[in-house]
Structure 1
Amino acid sequence: MTEGTDVAPAKMRRLAAAAVFATTLEWFDFLIYATAAALVLSHQFFPTADPVAGTLASFATFAVGFVARPIGGVIAGHVGDRFGRKPPLVVAMLVMGLATFAVGVLPPYASIGVWAPVLLVVARLVQGLGVGAQWGGAALLLVEHAPVERRGYYGSLVQTGAVAGAVAGNLFFLVLTATMSPEAFDSWGWRVPFLTGVLLVGIGIWVQLKIEDTPVFLELRERSAAAAREAGIRKAPVVQAIRHHGRAIVQAAGAFFVVNAVFYILISGILLYATTEVGMSKTSVLICVMIAGLSQVVTMPFFGALTDRMGSRKKLYLIGTVAMAVFAFPMFWLIDTGSVPLVLIALLVAFTIHATMYGPQATLYAEMFPADVRFSGASLGYQVASVLAGGLAPFIMTALLAATGASWSVALYIVATAVITFVSVVTIRERYRRDLYETSEDEARQEGTARAGAQRVAP
């Protein structure tokens, strides 16, 4: 049984480029809603509410997309563990592209009344299904192809897609707000980024035709052909993952809490807070978020590669968790000054700390689960946390600011999520550079042998 793969470097680079590009477009489509929710959606689709209630309503609709993510993860996990890593990735891109385009052509409340927010919620739910199905496929496509000694680096490249998508979305909105009148932007300009969703349809078709499934899954499929019930793929991988690896799923979800919450606070919550509470211009804040977020295109691969040399994914993850908790209050002290340079410094530091966790996350998750339930287990942990942490973060931030009128409450919220993450990561059994071809049967056999050996040694 081999631990790594024998993929040619040129092919690995093509796979990495395809996965990162597809992930960037997927997250661009999903995250432009966060920016639009902060800037325009409240009065386009919830005009009867007062300003705070309208903003809460738009962020609640933003959170709806996260509610659907675990469902997308469950479906994709079953398909991915049974039929391959590639099919759910392709379907996810098609679904996301069509749903995003639908938001771009959706009439406002003034035209169709209550049906406008209803249809917006439906489109957001479909987006959630798409992004919930996408992450596991893209992550495993790279991690299971990667050479074992560079697994952390290639896993981190998938993560850069999320921040690259967010930066691209902010850049798109920045150009629109800078070149259009406020009236034109509110009327139709905000729709332009959503109309680009059709690009994902084309990318999905290209991936289906050009990209091979992972060597781990291909070997798993060959093994299961001889004994479908005894080895390799289960009849219901999601059920098997929950039944036999439920603890690891909960740990993976907890590990994502501060990472996901802080990410959405940085790309969406700060935009609203700095413009409405601190009094900064939208353009200034968008530039700060965009520049600071773009830094992760460098820092995440750096930290992912660093774990390849450290001999541990957990160690760096825990350092980042503690650092985020410590920096939560100073970050808002800097933002509260309203000084563009100080706000940029605050966001650069926060995004760098975030990268120490988000960079190695995909590889950490892949190494937590055996091959036959890896897609299901990793996707469930990731997507469940996305509902409880990321999807609610802008909503909770807005509610906390409305209730307290001070940023300390949001900083305290970040500290609370960091505590959850720290406890979760400490309890994870790290399997650094584990054999990714190993199935649940292999794992159980090894543990049984180890227990038997321990019993023989015991007096």
Structure 2
Amino acid sequence: MSTSTSGPAVPSAEAAAPTTRQVRTVVLAASFGNLVEWFDFTTYGLLAAVIAKHFFTAQGSSGGSTPLLLAFATFGAGFLARPLGGLVIGLFGDRRGRKPALLLSIALMGFSTFVVAILPDQAAIGVAAPTLLVLARLLQGLAAGGEWGGAASFLVEWAPTGRRGLLGSVHTATIFVGTLVGSLVIAALTAGLGADRMGDWGWRIPFAIGGLLALIAIPVRLKAEETPIFRAEAEQGLRTLADLEPSEVASSMPTTRGALTRRLAFTFCLVGMQSAAVYTYTSYFPTFVTKYTTNHGQAVGSGAALFSNALASVVVIAVVLLSGHLSDRIGRKPAMLVSCVLVLVLSYPLIRLAAAADSLVVTVLVQCVLAASVALFLGCLPVVLVELFPARVRVAGLSTSYNIASAVFGGFAPLIAAALVAGTAQPANASLWAVFAALVSTAAVLFFRETRGVDLA
């Protein structure tokens, strides 16, 4: 897979080193907004079991596994909207700037999350409740689709050449900070309110918090400057993807039409493993822990499951930043290949161990090991994708390809994991989708040509 990029050079963007103050402002703007977006987006997955009772069973009865499967299907619906959000907000970001795109995505996320907080349940308004929930989730997906590529491009385009991997890893790390904060908030509310009140009305509080945090993130992002690379592109009057006719899109890329197709296909395969593994071992894992693991003969409660998720998020944050830093020194490919192999080899036996060990400590360690394995890959991914696409089509190109892969491999990962277990009565089979995706991504990494040190254009 060739990753060389040609096309007009942008000397002013490369030569002008950003000041420490500029970098701090950029990191704060991207990171805080990113944290809020993913706090909002992942809160649904963490509360899926509670949401199922309110929106997919009219009388709040358990209804077997069907309500939970419907709740996870709605979780996946957000991923169906992400490619569209990546394309639409990405085109906007390539034409109007990275900063306006980030402001648009955070506003959409805040609004849709607050809608979930105040939405009446199925017992109150009938079928309108799940319908509106799906619509809100789709809007969340649009916002998240635009956020990923916009924030990654914003951070990496501001970074000095020798620190692109590290600043890119900040993007991924703050996603997991959002997941961590979500886990801690939900765990604290569950402990403070009790399981009954949390299940009755307390589940709405995290969504309300997310909507309010989005309002705070907007002025933080307003303070950041546009990236030097985009400003240089605009000053040169270069056309962006939004300005081109469909027949001109391929020729706008620095490669042939066939090479462009291969690049998009490569990105799709590359992203697969991290999407499947992340959403299996974070969003689905609390449900897995409460349903299929025990601790000295006792069922593991939701509080302990959320604690495990929170600890795994801490591990991911640390490993992601380390991976990004190392990628600036030794390259992107080594950590990504090791990560794929670890997920491929360890997933099934470790999930089987967690289900059979009758120990909460073992369960927590299993999740942390699997999370660390994926994190090696995650730390390198943002910078790799930014380095693969030229500036004029960067946000739309990487957002669209990344989000299609996320929708296919990650969006329904919790649903697939739950269905595999329900259909086979084998808890360890929850890992099989992640294992399959790891096979796909391993092949992509083997064909990957190192991008460390390439010029951004």
TM-score by length of 1: 0.90
Spell out, residue by residue over 1:373-431, the C-alpha distance to the aligned partner (whole angstroms, 9 max, x if none). Answer: 11111111210111101111000001000111113322332221101111122223433
2:335 pairs with one of 316, 323, 345: 316
Q: Work out the CA distance in 1 between the residues paired with 2:15 and 2:34.
A: 24
Which residue matches 2:290? 275
Q: Work out the CA distance in 2 between the residues paired with 1:170 and 1:378.
A: 29
Which residue matches 1:451? none
1:13 pairs with one of 24, 39, 51: 24
Q: Work out the CA distance in 1 between the residues paired with 2:137 and 2:160.
A: 37
* Superposed displacement of residue 186, structure 1: 1.7
2:424 counterpart of 1:428 = no
Q: Which amino acid in the other structure matches residue 165 of structure 2?
A: G
Q: Which amino acid in the other structure matches residue 82 of structure 2?
A: R
Aligned residue for 1:305, secondary structure, equals helix
* Superposed displacement of residue 76, structure 1: 1.5
Q: Measured at CA, do residues 4 and 370 of structure 1 come closer, stay the same or move farther in structure 2, by a change above 3 Å?
A: farther
Superposition pairs for residues 356-371 of structure 1, below 5 Å? 356-371=376-391
Between the aligned residues of both structures, percent identity stands at: 34
Q: Work out the CA distance in 1 between the residues paired with 2:245 and 2:406.
A: 21
Q: Measured at CA, do residues 139 and 13 of structure 1 come closer, stay the same or move farther in structure 2, by a change above 3 Å?
A: same
5+ residue gaps in structure 2? 1-8, 294-298
Aligned residue for 2:380, secondary structure, equals helix
RMSD: 1.8
* Superposed displacement of residue 5, structure 1: 4.8
Superposition pairs for residues 318-333 of structure 1, below 5 Å? 318-333=337-352
Q: Work out the CA distance in 2 between the residues paired with 1:218 and 1:168.
A: 34
Q: Work out the CA distance in 1 between the residues paired with 2:244 and 2:408.
A: 25
Aligned residue for 1:295, secondary structure, equals helix
Which residue matches 1:122? 135
* Superposed displacement of residue 65, structure 1: 0.4
Which residue matches 2:264? 249
5+ residue gaps in structure 1? 439-459
Q: Work out the CA distance in 2 between the residues paired with 1:6 and 1:237.
A: 35
1:42 pairs with one of 24, 45, 52: 52
Indicate if the aligned counterparts of 2:420 and 2:430 stay in contact, CA closer than 8 A: yes
Indicate if the aligned counterparts of 1:234 and 1:372 stay in contact, CA closer than 8 A: no
Indicate if the aligned counterparts of 2:386 and 2:394 stay in contact, CA closer than 8 A: yes
Spell out, residue by residue over 1:111-140, the C-alpha distance to the aligned partner (whole angstroms, 9 max, x if none). Answer: 000000000001000000011111111111
1:201 pairs with one of 189, 205, 215: 215
Q: Which amino acid in the other structure matches residue 43 of structure 1?
A: K
2:228 pairs with one of 215, 231, 236: 215
* Superposed displacement of residue 4, structure 1: 6.0
1:157 pairs with one of 163, 167, 170: 170
Which residue matches 1:235? 243
2:275 pairs with one of 235, 245, 260: 260
Q: Which amino acid in the other structure matches residue 378 of structure 2?
A: Y
Q: Work out the CA distance in 1 between the residues paired with 2:100 and 2:454.
A: 25
* Superposed displacement of residue 86, structure 1: 1.0
Q: Measured at CA, do residues 237 and 200 of structure 1 come closer, stay the same or move farther in structure 2, by a change above 3 Å?
A: farther
Spell out, residue by residue over 1:138-162, the C-alpha distance to the aligned partner (whole angstroms, 9 max, x if none). Answer: 1111100001001100000000111
Q: Which amino acid in the other structure matches residue 428 of structure 1?
A: F
Which residue matches 2:296? none
Aligned residue for 2:284, secondary structure, equals helix
Which residue matches 1:346? 366
Which residue matches 2:77? 64
Which residue matches 2:436? 416
Spell out, residue by residue over 1:71-121, the C-alpha distance to the aligned partner (whole angstroms, 9 max, x if none). Answer: 000011211111111111100000000100000000000100000000000
Indicate if the aligned counterparts of 1:368 and 1:429 stay in contact, CA closer than 8 A: no
Which residue matches 2:126? 113
Q: Which amino acid in the other structure matches residue 199 of structure 1?
A: L
Q: Work out the CA distance in 2 between the residues paired with 1:343 and 1:329.
A: 13
Which residue matches 1:373? 393
Q: Which amino acid in the other structure matches residue 125 of structure 2?
A: I
* Superposed displacement of residue 206, structure 1: 3.2
Which residue matches 1:307? 327
Q: Work out the CA distance in 1 between the residues paired with 2:270 and 2:391.
A: 21
Indicate if the aligned counterparts of 1:267 and 1:289 stay in contact, CA closer than 8 A: yes
Indicate if the aligned counterparts of 2:348 and 2:429 stay in contact, CA closer than 8 A: no
Q: Measured at CA, do residues 76 and 236 of structure 1 come closer, stay the same or move farther in structure 2, by a change above 3 Å?
A: farther
* Superposed displacement of residue 24, structure 1: 0.6
